[in-house]
Amino acid sequence: METLIRKSLKDVAIEKIKQYIVEHNLKSGDPFPNEKEIIELLGVSRTVVREALKSLETVGILKLKPGDGIFVSDASLEQLMDQFYFRWFGNQQKMMELQEIRTILEVVAVELVILRADPKALEELDGWNDKMEQAIRKSLPLVEQDIGFHRTLFKLTSNETFYEFSEVVSKFFTEVRHKRLSSSGGHVTLEDHRRITQSIKEKDIGQAKDHMLKHLAKSRALKESE
């Protein structure tokens, strides 16, 4: 690891530390050089190193364990996106942009499920639809069933990163789900879910996408009316 020319730049130190992880092929749980060694490797002050390490811990790249040392963390997309949650939540422009992203993800998901999922696995979608119907009859909250249906769709794409990203985006729409599923909204959502499920079973990509777009448009309209 070469000595930094601009020693006071925390961002440069961060990039050098990440470069070190890549060059040494360090994996989750592997030990990282201690603070003193990093100072010597980078040729920067203790303050710069500590700021860089703290930033890398915040985004989930490193884990600082007092008394034990520094370790490479199991960084995930969710950890990174969590940093933006409080900055974006409540920002109308960001929420509208996230709604567009959610629409793209959900529409692509139904196509991937049709192309990849085992027909037997689609019974999971039926299961969530049945659970929602039962909850409606008992006047119970429906958010769990709604999230379960959409989460299962992403799992059935067989794309772990796609699923992980969908989980992050979904977090921003919990409040909208509560509002949409109140009163008669539950019946409408259940009907939408059953239409989407049936189109997937029939392997009708065009119709499945159309049903999903109409379903999400209702959430978008509710968000825009706030």
pTM: 0.70
Given pLDDT bands bounded at 50, 70 and 90, which one contains residue 181? confident
**Does domain 10-75 correspond to CATH entry 3.40.47.10?**
no
Cα distances from 187 to residues 149, 173, 217, in angstroms, run 15, 19, 16
User: If we measure between CA atoms, which residue out of 188, 207, 176 comes closest to residue 110?
Assistant: 207
Residue 6 has pLDDT above 50, yes or no: no
Residue 5 has pLDDT above 60, yes or no: no
Indicate where the chain has its CATH 1.20.120.530 domain(s): 79-224
Residue 7 has pLDDT above 50, yes or no: no
Residue 95 or 29, more confident: 29
Residues of the chain above pLDDT 90, percent: 62
Dump pLDDT digits (tens) for 71-102.
Answer: 998 766 666 666 666 667 677 888 888 889 99
Indicate where the chain has its CATH 1.10.10.10 domain(s): 10-75
Topology (CATH) of 79-224: Four Helix Bundle (Hemerythrin (Met), subunit A) (1.20.120)
